[in-house]
Amino acid sequence: MKDRSWINLTFIFLGGLVLLFIIAPLAGMFLKTSSGDFLDTAKDMEVIRSIWLTLWTSMMATLFFAVAAIPLSYLLARKEFRFKKLLLGIIDIPIVIPHSAAGIAILGFISRDTLLGKTASMVGIDFVGHPAGIAMAMAFVSVPFLINAARDGFASVPIRLEQAALNLGASPARVFFTISLPLAWRNIISGLIMMFARGMSEFGAVIIVAYHPMITPVLIYDRFGAFGLKYARPVAAIFIIISLTFFITFRLLANNKKNA
């Protein structure tokens, strides 16, 4: 019993150090930001526009790429094929490479002299410096979170349920939408939330593709470089509050749906 008590105390102490490391910088930032700075920044139209741009581009990127990412996740969970492990590794590449390198890769894919860039210019869209380009940069670094979460969700669905439905005459599409998708939905929701949150916080890839219009992470960097910590800190604090509000709200809605 004494040995167990000793190791529990050790783990609690070490865990407390990690939590302190996370909480202390955030607490310090909020404590050093006066209420006047908060109010002035909250009324700053440049800050408001950047926050709205960040939120809706990340949301659009999440919803648009989910249409293809969720079916891909199902195939990865259910099918065995050659080079599957290689494909899984490729999917995780955006997570492990420097995000500035990710931005360079995306820029080379959507710039004006590429096939995609030329096609978009025919309908009057230039991805570079455009919200669509921002959304693509966000999606590139965040879509692996959705794919991996959804794949785990589909893998947890008992295959015998799908096979039983197929044997009873249900079509593969009906099996997917009435059995596989509903049973994997909690993992998919978690993946969607993580993709949205990760896209919303992206900086390195976005700044390569579009410095303007500024999403909030880029605005924070711009104000820090131009005016210093005092002017960047209130923007960072407000954006953290908004990010946490959206993240916690989505988590609560997802948990309520699970319990319903």
Instruction: Please state the three-class secondary structure of the chain as a single string.
Output: CHHHHHHHHHHHHHHHHHHHHHHHHHHHHHHCCCHHHHHHHHCCHHHHHHHHHHHHHHHHHHHHHHHHHHHHHHHHHHCCCCCHHHHHHHHHHHHHCCHHHHHHHHHHHHCCCCHHHHHHHHCCCCCCCCHHHHHHHHHHHHHHHHHHHHHHHHHCCCHHHHHHHHHCCCCHHHHHHHHHHHHCHHHHHHHHHHHHHHHHCCCHHHHHHCCCCCCHHHHHHHHHHHHCHHHHHHHHHHHHHHHHHHHHHHHHHHHHHHHC
Mean pLDDT of 10-19: 93
For residue 3, name the pLDDT band (cuts at 50, 70, 90).
low
So what's the pLDDT on residue 8? 86
> Tokens 């490391």 label which residue?
21
Round to whole Å and give the CA distance between 196 and 200. 6
Neighbours of 98 (CB within 10 A): 10
pLDDT, one tens digit per residue, over 190-236 is: 999 999 999 999 999 999 999 999 999 999 999 999 999 999 999 99
Q: How far is CA 251 from the centre of its chain?
A: 14
Residue 6 has a pLDDT of 81
In Å, the largest CA–CA distance within the chain is: 74
pLDDT of 246 reads 86
Instruction: Note the pTM of the prediction, 2 decimals.
Output: 0.90
Structure tokens, 255: 């948990």
Whose CA is closest to 93, among 147, 135, 136?
Answer: 147
How confident is residue 251, by pLDDT bands cut at 50, 70 and 90? confident
Is residue 48 pLDDT above 80, yes or no? Answer: yes
pLDDT at residue 7 is higher than 70? yes
pLDDT at 4 over 80: no
pLDDT of amino acid 105: 95
